[in-house]
Amino acid sequence: MRKRKTEGLGELLSRTRQESGRTQEEVAAQAGVSTQFAADVEAGRCEATPQDVYTRHGIRRYAAELGVEEAAGQTRSARKRGTPSGPGSFSRPRHNRYKLAPLVTSSIARRGIIGLVAAIVVIYIGYQVITSLSQPPLEVAFPRENQVIYTNQIELVGVTEPGNTIAVDGQPVPVADDGHFRHVLTLPEGRHSLNVEAENDLGRTSHLTRHFRIEDESD
């Protein structure tokens, strides 16, 4: 049986396949040829059919699958002219999609990471700006506005953000870890008002005034 040498092309195809990280089985399956045929092509030996059609087409498909389009075209021309192919007869492919794909994917991934980091930084800066400009939260649950109270001992109850300080009529009031505060006062009968101030660590303050009246329950 005749053997047709394709030494130059075989070396080129083998080197291109190995650089792309693919196996002979994978390329052969995609090209529609047998694994043995792929091995023969890369080794520089091919069994020729009587008209040599299978060999020529198989080599072209195998080369095209590896991106060696120019080599496949030269194989076709050489076969038509009846000239054997040899070392140096085939040039390396101009483009190899299997090499470009990881580079493109890596570039897209880098841009995505950079965009994500930039978005996080913008959100953080925006949060800091809003926090620095906003007033600290302050609520007083008791006494209610204009409430009538029938006892001289008043317990002021409220809540603010943890870490803030509270002052009632200028006097500091302890604040619990959860932001709640209580302050007990003894006041005479009549109308009263309490001024409550909350201050955060940035120096921003909130103010709230409660008006109420103390009466004798027996009246």
Taking the domains of the chain in order of start, what are their residue ranges?
Answer: 3-93, 96-133, 138-214
Whole-number pLDDT of residue 22? 92
Angstrom distance (rounded) from CA 203 to CA 11: 76
What pTM did the predictor assign?
A: 0.40
Residues of the chain with pLDDT under 50: 1-7, 48-51, 71-72, 75-79, 81-95, 98
H helices of the chain, in order, are: 7-20, 24-31, 35-43, 53-65, 69-81, 97-133
Write down the CATH superfamily of domain 3-93.
Answer: lambda repressor-like DNA-binding domains (1.10.260.40)
Structure tokens, 27 = 């390329």
- Residues 6+ away with beta carbon under 8 Å from 100: none
Whole-number pLDDT of residue 46? 65
Tens digits of residue pLDDT in 23-45: 989 998 998 888 888 888 888 77
Whole-number pLDDT of residue 6? 43
Whole-number pLDDT of residue 211? 95
What is the CATH code for 138-214? 2.60.40.10
